[in-house]
Structure 1
Amino acid sequence: MTRLSDNAPDAPSRIHHLLDRWVRDRPDAPAVRDVHVALSYAGLDAAARAAARQLARLQVRAGDRVLVVGENCAAACALVLASSMLDAWSIVVNARLSEREIDTFIAHSGARRVIFTCHVSADAQKHAQRLGAEALDWEGLGSLWVGPLAQAVQPEPCAPAAQDQVAAMIYTSGTSGAPKGVMLTHANLMFAARSAHEIRGLGPGDLIYGVLPMAHVVGLSTQFLGCIASGAGLILEPRYTPAGLAQALSEQGVTAFTGVPAMFAKLLDWARENERPIEAPALRFVCVVGSPLTPGLKAGVEAALGLPLHNGYGLTETAPTVAQTRIEAPREDCTVGFALPGVQTRIVDAPTGLDRAPGEIGELWVRGPNLMKGYYRNEALTREAVNADGWFNTGDMARRDADGALHIVGRSKELIIRSGFNVYPVEVEQVLNSHPEVVQSAVVGRTVGHNEEVVAFVERVAGSTLDDEAMRPFLRERLSPYKVPSEIRFVAQLPAAPTGKILKSVLKTMAST
């Protein structure tokens, strides 16, 4: 049965209840804005409730999945809250993904409706047109495109408890190449939102610059929901440019910004190229997430902004934050800080399963109220990731200082993080290997400055003259731009062990030369 919650219970159980305090106490305070619309807290609440009624008319039921294809905008925020009001699951997907990726996520999720924010994304418009969507007016939001009803899909069971009911699903491709739908509950997301509020000291009067994509967990959880948990305002930008960030810092009164290292590096480059300082008169908090922070970048940003550059660590599966440096105690090193209150961490010696001593490196395990419900339609993978005692193996290698501060020292998985976006080599390899003139391929990451690049090694069929120029259009049709390799090297034979296993350690060395 379709639901529309009118009043929050005393103990909030849904993410849209985060609005209630501010609708009551500060209804006219700015909540979210983009280039098309600006919504106060009362306006965001009204738009979300109107969107929930619209979704109900579109036959979205409790337990259904609503997939939003687009880029950052106020409408996406309202749709997330509207889905919460109906006990539907929201799935925000970046419109810059390829047709293959979008279609895979729609099919895997069993989305009841797909909605496209074409007004902020030409890529969303292309997907909308090819998938048979039609434009529809939405109260307070303007025109959004709506795809056909998936009549055969079935709703998932609903639960009253926040820790049991899924609020959102975020897709990450996974090391297997198959889609992984990370199910995050209302409790997961509210914990992360409130942690952002408390750890970062956000509150009414703050203005956050939001360019991290809402299709990714930081953009949805700590950027958007952290904003409304704090009564702050959020400026939403669909795409990052250093000039846009510089203008927002200097002229729009931005007080807080969180970005990936590549964003900060590009901002510094922009300032050097334009021979002008970065002016940020209202800025009081900056934080880096998504990729390792280097001492050089930290020093450069701090010198340019005159503020400590904070650091944090998390994963999609942990909604996302595991650890964060504290605003009241900035660090000079590149630690990711301390585990959030209520979040437990272990540094584990994999062969023995025993905890490592301070200073020793091991696998980082996490347990707490931020941990996902599981991977959608993949109980086996969920059991593999989370043990019987509720510990999630992050796959990252870490060490802990004597004072408890965590340092991420490497990834045990082959994940490549390019400009803050996850690239799993096997997914790129599968596309490369689907080319009729490719025997096999291998993909590795290469560190360049404050970022990582994707490097592909390709073994061609005998007699093939396949080259970089011919391969790139093939890849662009099937992969997101950030997944397309920066370099493609064609080799006579990939290095392999006697078992036939490709020696990626050798390829990583080759990629760096």
Structure 2
Amino acid sequence: MGAFALSSTDPVTPDAAEDLQPQRLHHWLDHWAQRQSDAPALQDERAALSYGALAAAVDAAARGLREAGVRPGDRVLGVGENCNAAAILVLACSRLEAWVSLVNARLSEREIDAFLEHSQARMVVGLGEASSEAVRHLQRLGGAPVRWPGAGEWLLAPGHPQALPEPVSESAADQVAALIYTSGTSGAPKGVMLSHANLLFIAANSRRQRRLTNADRVYGVLPLSHVYGLTAVLLATLSAGASLVLAARFVPEAMAKALVRDGITVLHGVPAMYAKLLEWGERPGNTLRAPALRVAQSGGAPLDQALKDRFERHFGLPLQNGYGMTEASPSICQTRLEAPRRDCSVGPPIPGIEVRVVDLQSRRPVPVGETGELWLRGPNVMKGYYRNLALTAETVDADGWLHTGDLARMEADGTLSIVGRSKELIIRSGFNVYPAEVEDVLNAHPDVVLSAVVGRPVPGNEEVVAFVEPVPGRTLDTEALRAWLRERLSPYKLPAQIVVMPQLPASATGKLYKQRLREQALQLSTSKET
């Protein structure tokens, strides 16, 4: 693809990479492998790779996949967890002009099979060295082991050998790089097609917003199979020539150790991770320090004020907030390092995109301060849903506006506050109840780690049901919790039922499975508390 270069005499600063114009995901790697071959690039539980070693491993994997039959335009389904091999697969597919679709190995056989069938992937790759679950999936699919220099041992299984490749385009905006399956969906899979231009735009934005340089050490526990982990963590790190410490799964103690041992300077996580990290740090005998940390970023789920305040008191630096969705690659809004906020606003829109807040009925923009559905338009908007033109047309209109389905409010200072999902809005006796508001109050209780609020239909109305996860080792008094809520919420917002669970169901990214909780709420009697 098109050549690009940055003089080796240029200083390595956050802005130095702006002269680069990569057209494919692997172009960042090619650049830094030439400029700083011996600098650290990736590290997982088994090995550390320099930029030169990573480039060699990507070349070897690309050759191996090509010899195994992967062609430009083919889909490649990667099954695994965060490890060096996952990053190598992403970059090798970019080099081959193939579409990569990373899925978490902890998914069920049914889910893996559904993604394989929908994507018509020519090849399934198991990243087994970091995941016994990946080994089981690939053995079931007839996978055979292969080993390529620097890439470790992989398992290859035929997917759909007769599947036709998709057309290949020179244009970074037209060529699909990744097929991301959205989490928490039911029914037929939704495969989001993201182009090289989509992903490169967000990676560059993430690099700028966090002011990444090649001196940074980024902690990568958010799954690379999720678009947040793929773009804002992996690709943004590589775009800056920085190094990424990969963790297969979130373990509070492991994150705490990495903050000190690995000199982590940039930390990404979902609110549930930060809540459990702080809870671990408050246990007797534990110490939670981050001597090199300069940026802490929250995303992937709503951030509540109590958690933000706790984090900032402990670490002495702002917990930045952001908002996005898979269909937007994913970033839409981001708080700024130079203007930290005390509230839980998601900040202004990222540079280079347009947003509007519209009335749900008329679809006309609403005044500042009023709630409506958030729409956006820009280079981060997906190409569409794979093999689903009708759903694509429903989500992205003829003028290029992506209808997020999220309820937002534009503030006078140009920042956005996310109120909730339009589909999650609870209408109680004619009044709107936004689950995030109730969750914010619940999470502020000292005995609550996490909460999730859902609606439950009852004859002629809808009621509020709250699921709460208590601090380990503590007994949660639901009557005391009700009193706490009555002091802080209007009567129509109060839960009809509070359900205490040892652990709320969540995805690998920490995103709560609210659909499961809605189903559970329907099965529970309103007259009985657990």
TM over 0.5: yes
Deviation of 1:292 (Å): 0.8
1:225 pairs, out of 235, 247, 250, with 235
Which residue in 2 is equivalent to 1:278? 288
Deviation of 1:487 (Å): 9.5
Tell me, in whole angstroms, the C-alpha distance in 1 between the residues paired with 2:520 and 2:156.
42
Gaps of 5+ in 1: 426-441, 452-474, 495-506
> Structure 2 vs 1, CA of residues 167 and 490 (structure 1 numbering), >3 Å: closer, same or farther?
closer
TM-score (norm 2): 0.79
Tell me, in whole angstroms, the C-alpha distance in 2 between the residues paired with 1:176 and 1:167.
25
Tell me, in whole angstroms, the C-alpha distance in 2 between the residues paired with 1:445 and 1:370.
36
Which residue in 2 is equivalent to 1:461? none
Deviation of 1:76 (Å): 0.7
Deviation of 1:410 (Å): 1.2
Tell me, in whole angstroms, the C-alpha distance in 2 between the residues paired with 1:46 and 1:333.
46
Which residue in 2 is equivalent to 1:22? 32
- 1:273 partner SS: coil
Which residue in 2 is equivalent to 1:448? 468
Deviation of 1:20 (Å): 2.7
1:123 corresponds to 2:140: no
Tell me if structure 2 keeps the 8 A contact 1:262–1:450: no
Tell me if structure 1 keeps the 8 A contact 2:465–2:521: no
Which residue in 2 is equivalent to 1:93? 103
Q: Deviations over 1:375-399 (max 9, x none)?
A: 0000000000011110011000000
Deviation of 1:148 (Å): 2.1
- 1:339 partner SS: coil
Tell me if structure 2 keeps the 8 A contact 1:169–1:182: yes
Which residue in 1 is equivalent to 2:444? none
1:192 corresponds to 2:202: yes
Which residue in 2 is equivalent to 1:67? 77
After TM superposition, the structure 1 stretch with the greater mean CA deviation from structure 2, 62-71 or 348-357, is: 348-357
2:376 pairs, out of 345, 366, 369, with 366
Which residue in 1 is equivalent to 2:419? 409
Which residue in 2 is equivalent to 1:466? none
- 2:423 partner SS: coil
Deviation of 1:103 (Å): 0.3
Tell me if structure 2 keeps the 8 A contact 1:277–1:304: no
Q: How does 1:327-366 map to 2 (within 5 A)?
A: 327-366=337-376
Tell me if structure 2 keeps the 8 A contact 1:37–1:141: no
- The amino acid of 2:357's aligned partner reads I
TM-score (norm 1): 0.82
> Structure 2 vs 1, CA of residues 205 and 510 (structure 1 numbering), >3 Å: closer, same or farther?
farther
Which residue in 2 is equivalent to 1:234? 244
1:46 corresponds to 2:56: yes
Q: How does 1:50-449 map to 2 (within 5 A)?
A: 50-148=60-158, 150-172=160-182, 177-414=187-424, 446=466, 448=468
Tell me, in whole angstroms, the C-alpha distance in 2 between the residues paired with 1:84 and 1:512.
52
- 2:289 partner SS: coil
Q: Deviations over 1:349-380 (max 9, x none)?
A: 12112111111100000111000000000000
Tell me, in whole angstroms, the C-alpha distance in 2 between the residues paired with 1:486 and 1:382.
28
Tell me, in whole angstroms, the C-alpha distance in 2 between the residues paired with 1:344 and 1:13.
23
Q: Deviations over 1:17-65 (max 9, x none)?
A: 1123312221111111101121111111111111111110011000000
Tell me, in whole angstroms, the C-alpha distance in 1 between the residues paired with 2:371 and 2:518.
32
2:44 pairs, out of 4, 9, 34, with 34
Tell me, in whole angstroms, the C-alpha distance in 1 between the residues paired with 2:55 and 2:161.
29
- The amino acid of 1:185's aligned partner reads S
Deviation of 1:445 (Å): 7.7
- The amino acid of 1:391's aligned partner reads W
Deviation of 1:302 (Å): 0.5
> Structure 2 vs 1, CA of residues 283 and 445 (structure 1 numbering), >3 Å: closer, same or farther?
farther
Tell me, in whole angstroms, the C-alpha distance in 2 between the residues paired with 1:148 and 1:209.
33
Tell me, in whole angstroms, the C-alpha distance in 2 between the residues paired with 1:312 and 1:84.
27
> Structure 2 vs 1, CA of residues 395 and 510 (structure 1 numbering), >3 Å: closer, same or farther?
farther
- 2:358 partner SS: strand
Deviation of 1:413 (Å): 2.3
> Between Structure 1 and Structure 2, how many residues are aligned?
448
Deviation of 1:307 (Å): 0.7
Tell me if structure 2 keeps the 8 A contact 1:294–1:450: no
Tell me if structure 2 keeps the 8 A contact 1:265–1:450: no
> Structure 2 vs 1, CA of residues 260 and 489 (structure 1 numbering), >3 Å: closer, same or farther?
closer
- 1:195 partner SS: helix
Tell me, in whole angstroms, the C-alpha distance in 1 between the residues paired with 2:385 and 2:105.
22
Which residue in 2 is equivalent to 1:434? none
Tell me if structure 2 keeps the 8 A contact 1:173–1:179: no
Tell me if structure 2 keeps the 8 A contact 1:446–1:511: no
Tell me, in whole angstroms, the C-alpha distance in 1 between the residues paired with 2:406 and 2:235.
26
- The amino acid of 1:179's aligned partner reads P
> Structure 2 vs 1, CA of residues 268 and 491 (structure 1 numbering), >3 Å: closer, same or farther?
closer
Q: Deviations over 1:447-480 (max 9, x none)?
A: 53699xxxxxxxxxxxxxxxxxxxxxxx9xxxx9
Deviation of 1:141 (Å): 1.6
Tell me, in whole angstroms, the C-alpha distance in 2 between the residues paired with 1:133 and 1:309.
43
Tell me, in whole angstroms, the C-alpha distance in 1 between the residues paired with 2:176 and 2:520.
43
Deviation of 1:274 (Å): 3.1
Tell me, in whole angstroms, the C-alpha distance in 2 between the residues paired with 1:350 and 1:42.
52
Tell me, in whole angstroms, the C-alpha distance in 2 between the residues paired with 1:204 and 1:481.
30
> Structure 2 vs 1, CA of residues 252 and 81 (structure 1 numbering), >3 Å: closer, same or farther?
same
